[in-house]
Structure 1
């Protein structure tokens, strides 16, 4: 290998390492690619109903999005309708309060993104997700049901966790 070839090889390696360190160019709103410890406890088998782990950590005050399985299909964006399967639970206990799975493994709910038909954190958590993905979303009270809650099921100021699967996206 000549000095010129060696120099070019070193420059190429340095350039690829520096580009890899920069990370994705997907934008500031895309979730971190490495899931949290709690998200690693969620099954990656999309044919199985996921369980939401309880947490002893202080509840976050911002929306937390953890991709458990990254999908490779169509992306859910504002203006589209996302058909999702989900399990909703309380952050601290992991106690389930709602689930589309209770209607069967193929039961989904349509969420028209941008229409404001669900709590803000739920809708924001779907955006950017791709079909075939599973995501764990931790929603602080201000992006959920707030200080009033949704009696009798959701108490005021509740932090909620949803594990959702994106099944289909339609324009």
Structure 2
């Protein structure tokens, strides 16, 4: 085989390899920037209390929630969550924005945006909002994947609702985090 033919084959191989790499990089960025992925729920911890929601950027899921879905129902703005007064003795739900969708049932997979603070101090504990941009969170409700306060307070609410959920420490993450106040935007339930 001539040197010219070998060089031509080598150049063709390098060009094919570069094309494959370019396609893979393009697919990677297209998938990463797709915006319709949400985190999945974490498994219960060893203390038998369910773990807190996974930060939105930590674990992708194939849930079909988008920021457009929350915008369509008036939930496109990050909520301003204010602390409460007194001790929280039971899970309480207050509808802040009425939803018009289906009623959430235990066992469904929900997609939500949320913000949680310490009920008494107002200290931010966690949020699916970053710099005013929502990163929806997806989990199964009513089956022990989430804290008992969510499993009790979210079923029965309507998709498209923004609710304030006050949860006593015993039904949340324990005394170290204290009583909590969540504002939850219910984007979808399937």
Specify the TM-score bucket, using the shorter chain as the normaliser. 0.5 to 0.7
- The alignment's C-alpha RMSD in Å is 1.9
| TM-score, normalisation: structure 2 | 0.58
1:46 paired residue number: 75
Q: What is the alpha-carbon distance in structure 2 between the residues aligned to residue 73 and residue 45 of structure 1? A: 13
Residue 96 of structure 1: aligned partner: 124
Match of 1:39 in 2: none
1:60 Cα deviation after fit = 2.0
Unaligned runs of 5+ in 1: 1-43
* Deviation of 1:144 (Å): 0.8
Cα distance in 2 for residues equivalent to 1:50 and 1:104: 9
* Residue aligning to 2:43: none
How far off is 1:103 after superposition? 7.9
The 8 Å contact of residues 52 and 96 in structure 1, kept in 2 or not, is answered as: no
* Alignment: residue pair count: 118
What do residues 127-161 of structure 1 show as CA deviations (whole Å, max 9, x unaligned)? 111111000000001111224x3xxxx3xxx0000
Q: 2:103: which partner in 1?
A: 75
Q: C-alpha deviations, 1:26-76, integer Å up to 9, x for none?
A: xxxxxxxxxxxxxxxxxx952110121123x21121111100011010211
Q: Is the 8 A contact 2:77 2:132 kept in 1?
A: no
- Give the TM-score taking structure 1 as reference length: 0.64
Q: Which residue of 2 aligns with 1:87?
A: 115
Query: After superposition, what is the alpha-carbon deviation per residue over 1:103-137, rounded to whole angstroms, capped at 9, x for unaligned?
Result: 86341111202221111102222111111100000
Counterpart of 1:121 in structure 2 is 149
Distance, in Å, in 2 between the alignment partners of 1:126 and 1:70 is 13
* Unaligned residue ranges in structure 2 (runs of 5+): 1-72
